[in-house]
Structure 1
């Protein structure tokens, strides 16, 4: 089965919290990976999201360690919408 990973950058204007995180994350730009697999048997290309990951810390923060944490895309979208409302 064919798969792909697409990467986007999301910007948070203020600190945000995602379920499962111990503490709020600071404002900034964050890389997000979306893993998708090809849905076979359709007459055109269609992809299904099978995973999403956020890279911590934010892009501009210099840190000795970095991690890629699995997230629920709906939780990320809700946190992003809340951030847009506050700005």
Structure 2
């Protein structure tokens, strides 16, 4: 089965925490990689998200230990929404 990979960046203005991460992550811009697989049997092209990975540290952070953390996409979206509320 073909899997497509999309890469985006998300920016947090405030420190944040996601389940499965060690402690609080600092504010900054992070690389997010999403893997999606096609949904077969439809009369149109559609994809289902199968994995979302957050790369640490933030892009502008000093080089240090890097990690690729599997995260829940809905939790990441909620953390971004909370960050936007704090910034408003």
Q: Structure 1 length normalisation: TM-score?
A: 0.94
Cα distance in 2 for residues equivalent to 1:62 and 1:45: 41
Please report how far the alpha carbon of residue 22 of structure 1 lies from its aligned counterpart in structure 2 after TM superposition.
2.1
- Please list every run of 5 or more consecutive structure 1 residues that lacks an aligned counterpart in the other structure: none
- Superposed CA deviations along residues 42-78 of structure 1, whole A, max 9, x for unmatched, are 1111000001000000000122331111000011011
Cα distance in 1 for residues equivalent to 2:43 and 2:50: 21
Report the equivalent of 1:81.
Answer: 81
- Please list every run of 5 or more consecutive structure 2 residues that lacks an aligned counterpart in the other structure: none
Report the equivalent of 2:40.
Answer: 40
Report the equivalent of 1:7.
Answer: 7
Please report how far the alpha carbon of residue 5 of structure 1 lies from its aligned counterpart in structure 2 after TM superposition.
0.7
Report the equivalent of 1:50.
Answer: 50
Q: Structure 2 length normalisation: TM-score?
A: 0.93
Matched position secondary structure for 2:74: helix
